[in-house]
């Protein structure tokens, strides 16, 4: 589903972040990418989103070389990206409204896109994400967790097959964070999404990722992958195996670069 082939990426006048890097994620897998600030997590996500292009090599999704944003790839940002002057419902409808405007051109919308009733699909996702009651409120009138749910609703209304999330729970309190993580895994399983989440939080990575890609100091040349078959189970956080897996991830990361959980 996702493949990086011999990818090198370097910012202008800087050393390489990735160097001849190869990595594959299969369809409907969940991946957590964990590392300290500046280790290339968001750079990797932006390449998958088509918002940054590799210096050399290829990024492919579903055998398609990614040279621009792909219509079936959804992106959820830490800052939510909501329009402050639009209501929750209007924000959730924004992507679908733009897609319906352009039609099935293969660039802004998939070639098999059919114009969808915006209200019907938005209503479904607002209800599914538990925010129907605040549909007419503005982002400044709701909590961080509710804003994140609105951002997820906007993305899922577009029916993606790949969901990319950049530190989506970092600014939330612990109970809200765990609730949204549980919901994210539930939605991923329901819709068979290929999910890639980047985070600096080791506990979040261990709960969310069937596979954990550990990034140390760049340049990255070979993926360091930890398999994590118990990920997503609601009781996982209480098991000894969870803390052992967290310890395993910590051992793979340079100690002086660790971020507090």
How confident is the model at residue 115, as a pLDDT?
67
In the predicted structure, residue 169 carries a pLDDT above the cut 80: yes
Region 12-33 average pLDDT: 94
- The total number of structural domains that make up the chain: 2
Strand order in the sheet with 2-10: 16-25, 2-10, 56-61, 64-65
Pair (31, 94) in one structural domain: no
Kindly report the pTM of this predicted structure: 0.91
Residue 82 shares a structural domain with residue 149? yes
Question: 95 versus 29: which is more confidently predicted?
Answer: 29
Tokens of 112: 């098999």
Does a structural domain hold residue 202? yes
- Same domain assignment for residues 53 and 131: no
Quick check: 166 pLDDT over 60?
Answer: yes
Do residues 134 and 248 share a domain? no
pLDDT of residue 255: 58
Q: How far is CA 132 from the centre of its chain?
A: 23
In a domain, 141, yes or no: yes
**Are 30 and 106 in the same domain?**
no
Is 168 a member of any domain? no
Do 85 and 112 sit in the same domain of this protein?
yes
The per-residue pLDDT for range 233-259, each reduced to its tens digit, is 989 999 999 999 999 999 988 654 444
The verdict on 67 and 186 lying in the same domain is yes
Out of 111, 127, 159, a domain closes at 159
Residue 166 domain-assigned (yes or no): no
- Pair 91, 137 in one domain: yes
Confirm if 141 and 25 have CB atoms less than 8 A apart.
no
Q: Residue 256: its pLDDT value, please?
A: 45
> Which of 8-17, 163-172, 218-227, 245-254 has the highest average model confidence (pLDDT)?
218-227
Residues 64 and 84 placed together within one structural domain of the fold:
no
**10 and 92 part of one domain:** no
121: domain CATH number?
A: 3.40.50.300
| pLDDT tens-place string over residues 88-147 | 999 999 988 888 877 777 777 777 767 667 889 899 999 999 999 999 999 999 999 999
Residue 88 exposed, middle or buried by CB count within 10 Å (0-12, 13-18, 19+): buried
Judgement on whether residues 52 and 177 belong to the same structural domain of the protein? yes
Point out the domain boundary residue: 159, 182, 204. 159
Q: Specify whether 155 is located in the same domain as 199.
A: no
Write out pLDDT tens, residues 42-85: 999 999 999 999 999 999 999 999 999 999 999 998 888 899 99
**Domain hosting residue 259, numbered range:** 1-71+173-261
Lowest mean pLDDT across 14-28, 140-154, 165-179, 198-212: 165-179
The set of residues, in sequence order, having a beta carbon less than 8 Å from that of 253 and lying 6+ positions away, is: 34, 35, 36, 202, 214, 216
Decide if 226 contacts 249 (C-beta within 8 A): yes
124 is written with which tokens? Answer: 């479904």
In a domain, 167, yes or no: no
Domain boundary among 128, 159, 190: 159
Q: What is the pLDDT of residue 14?
A: 80
Q: What is the pLDDT of residues 34-44, one digit of tens each?
A: 988 888 999 99
């Amino acid at each position: 589903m996702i493949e990086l082939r011999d990818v090198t990426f370097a910012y202008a006048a800087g050393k390489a972040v990735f160097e001849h890097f190869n990595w594959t994620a299969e369809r409907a897998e969940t991946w957590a990418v964990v590392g300290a600030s500046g280790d290339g997590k968001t750079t990797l996500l932006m390449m998958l989103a088509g918002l940054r292009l590799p210096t050399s090599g290829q990024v492919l999704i579903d055998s398609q070389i990614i040279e621009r944003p792909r219509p079936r790839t959804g992106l959820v940002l830490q800052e939510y990206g909501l329009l402050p002057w639009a209501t929750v419902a209007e924000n959730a409808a924004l992507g679908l409204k733009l897609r319906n405007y352009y039609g099935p051109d293969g660039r802004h919308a998939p070639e098999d896109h059919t114009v969808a009733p915006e209200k019907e699909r938005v209503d479904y996702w607002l209800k599914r994400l538990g925010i129907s009651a605040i549909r007419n409120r503005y982002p400044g009138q709701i909590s961080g967790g509710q804003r994140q749910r609105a951002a997820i609703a906007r993305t899922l209304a577009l029916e993606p097959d790949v969901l990319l999330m950049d530190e989506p729970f970092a600014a939330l309190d612990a109970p809200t964070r765990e609730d949204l993580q549980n919901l994210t895994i539930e939605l991923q399983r329901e819709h068979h999404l290929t999910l890639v989440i980047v985070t600096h939080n080791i506990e979040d990575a261990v709960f969310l990722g069937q596979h954990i890609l550990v990034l140390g100091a760049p340049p990255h040349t070979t993926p360091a992958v930890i398999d994590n078959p118990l990920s997503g189970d609601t009781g996982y956080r209480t098991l000894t195996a969870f803390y052992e897996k967290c310890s395993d991830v910590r051992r793979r990361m340079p100690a002086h670069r660790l971020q507090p959980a």
